[in-house]
Amino acid sequence: MLSETQKETAKAIVNIFETGSARGDYARVTLLAGDSGHLTYGRAQTTLGSGNLHLLIKSYCAMPGASHARSLQPYLPRLSDIDLRLDTDRAFRNLLSEAGADPVMQETQDAFFDRVYWTPAVTAAGKLGLVEALSAAIVYDGVIHGSWSAMRDRTTAKAGTPLKAGARRWTETYIGERRSWFSSHSNALLRKCVYRMDAFAALAKAGNWSLALPMTVRGVRIDEDVLDIGPAIPASAEDATVRTLRLAEPRMSGNDVRALQEALVKEGYALNCDGIFGESVEKALKSFQRDFGIMDDGIAGPATRLMLGL
């Protein structure tokens, strides 16, 4: 049986993967080009395409005191029909974002994601004999992000059952198999998701199967204070001073600009990697943002850096 701290730590890890924050971003609305789930929303980025966004908003609208229920209710039939035009419905997206600040929405999301994702994940892990906290977090990530059943079967075909292979060895094999699946996937978005398995592999290598705190995942510190009171703090002073890169006068320059240029070149955008943020960098950055469904403002903010692996 996992402790409450272990449960919240497991969820915090996946929150970081999904929104960059240990507490999650309840107001986050995302549309990434090539994502079969289409529009995604909330702390665990539930999707329009799966039908779960409809269920979440329906639950919220039924809650007493839901401040945005009246505005969101007219969208329920379209959500039920998985109307993909909602992907680009700016009024709807703005409503979702505004509703994310409502404590009732936050409570609804917590309860919904526990019911739809966390409880099934822990149940599935328990049936396999995967009782350690890190294993539960890994199964939860698979259920949230998708492909859990396929990766479970692929891992068992290679390593045998957890009972036969040993729970830790089976879990480590799962990490490797899912990473391989990500890295060779035809969808560029999924190829970028190897970081999820790399983060879990680092925890396993460190022997942190109990998810002991504090820990750092993708540059975000998780400790008991973070789990209790708010968003994660950067892991170091260096992380806290990461610049938001943009076209400016005088021109921004330095190793961080060069790293941005190199990441864009790796994605197929032609640039001279001279370490200076000029108009050509802004143009390439806007093209990348449009290609990946990020707001094309030409600014290398957190979402853009995350997609570029920076």
Q: HEC profile for 44-105? A: CCEECCCCHHHHHHHHHHCCCCCCCHHHHHHHHHHHHCCCHHHHHCHHHHHHHHHHCCCHHH
**Structure token pair of residue 216:** 């750092």
Average pLDDT over residues 256-277: 89
Residue 233 pLDDT more than 50?
no
Residue 239 pLDDT more than 50?
no
User: Which of 198, 309, 196 minimizes the C-alpha distance to 263?
Assistant: 309
Range of weakest confidence among 21-35, 124-138, 177-191, 269-283: 21-35
Sorted by where each begins, the domain ranges of the chain are 4-205, 255-308
Topology of the domain covering 255-308: Muramoyl-pentapeptide Carboxypeptidase; domain 1 (1.10.101)
Which pLDDT score is estimated for 6?
Answer: 94
pTM (two decimals)? 0.69
**Which contiguous run of DSSP H or E holds residue 42?**
none
Which pLDDT score is estimated for 294?
Answer: 65
Residue 263 pLDDT more than 80?
yes
- The percent of residues in the chain predicted with pLDDT above 70, rounded, is 91
User: Which of 241, 144, 236 minimizes the C-alpha distance to 193?
Assistant: 144
Considering only CA atoms, give the Rg of the chain: 20
